[in-house]
A and B are shown apart, each in its own frame.
Chain A
Amino acid sequence: MKGLRKALPTFRTLWPWVMVATVAGLWACSRFCGGLAFGLRAGESLGGFLVEMALVLPPMFLLIGLFDVWVPREFVERHAGRCAGASAVPWMVLLATVQAGPLYAAFPVAVSLWRKGCAPQNVFIYLGAFSAMKIPMLTFEVAFLGWRFSLARTLVTLPVFIVIGVVLARLLPADFEPPGADSGPGAPGGSRCREPAPVCRSEPQPGNSAGG
């Protein structure tokens, strides 16, 4: 039991490197000793992923850092907070669809939006839009599957992930905070915004407001 508790963190730090080394080894083996098509394919796709990652992630994280420092919390709250309502949806979709890159590039953006006061349902709508309906990818989809298929898929997917976002937000406790990537030991904690979730003021009733 004690050994297991000790081994788990070691496994956690080591397995990514073992994985990468294995793929690199497989690739090198297939490349230079001949034979294994499997190793070649694995190495080539890892290479492709690494290039993609190196192109997208560094600027993305730099922008997140700038966003964290410069964009005021009230701005995010006003446009995408718990009280922003349905008007936040077009903003989230727009923000997501103009970007390119794999979905994992959107995770850190989503977390920093969340911490700045973006309502969880809007965070999930952002993720949904990012994964399934990016504008730069649309031309690509049309080329391979035709515009009828692409258009129908985009239009059908949009309401589906809005519903997913709303349902997902309902399933979480109101004070839920994402752990974020920097919550490890020695890193700044994610506890900057621990105030309770704001309660939206209900719309004034048309009949009531006049009485005062």
Chain B
Amino acid sequence: MTLLWIITGVAIIVSLAADRRKTRASLIKGLKMFWGVLPLLLGVLGLVSVVLAAVTPEMLQHVLSGSGPVPFFTALGIGSIALMPGFIAYPLAGLLRQNGASTATLAAFITSLMMVGILTLPLEARFFGWRVSLLRNGLALVGAALVAAVMVMVLP
């Protein structure tokens, strides 16, 4: 995070040295874009946090432990609810593993958690349009199942 701010700062200074007016125009453009998506972003984050609060780690442990197709598909389904960054996904997955979730379930859960997001779809559609967003999420869901299936073969 700090690195990102440093890089941005250096880039702005270099840009300012090269051309003041161009820099001003570009920074205003970037901030306008940010301002434009901010309300939608806040709404989606609000929605995700409400759903996240409803799904407790204990519940997940209950439905995702054990082996077989049921926990596997449940993991895919729950993982698809929202796009989650790794720092939420990994600790949760670590907890699930301690409670006896299988490799397939864990891989399906992590991959779909990071790549498929139904609640975050409006945000994605704002940038890419509904067609691309729906297609990307659909394919990513299939991909998550595939990753999990291969993982079982690699790590018995």
Contacts and interface: CB of A to CB of B under 8 A. Distances in A.
A171 B93 contact: no
Contact of A171 (B37, B85, B87, B135): B135
B126 A156 contact: no
Interface string B117-156: 1001001101111011001100110010011001100110
B138 to A, nearest CB: 9
B41 A104 contact: yes
Contacts of B27: 62, 65-66
The size bracket of the interface on B is: 35 or more
B66 to A, nearest CB: 18
Interface in A49-84: 49-50, 52-53, 55-66, 68-70
Contact of B128 (A55, A99, A111, A157): A111
The size bracket of the interface on A is: 35 or more
A144 B41 CA distance: 29
A161 B4 contact: no
A203 B139 CA distance: 31
Contacts of B8: 59, 62-63
Interface stretch (A13-21, A87-95, A191-199, A204-212): A13-21
Interface string A12-35: 010111011011001000000000
A48 to B, nearest CB: 8
B115 A128 contact: yes
Contact of A42 (B52, B85, B93, B111): B52
B26 A65 contact: yes
Contacts of A56: 1, 4
B135 A168 contact: yes
Contacts of A145: 90, 93-94, 97, 106
A174 interface: no
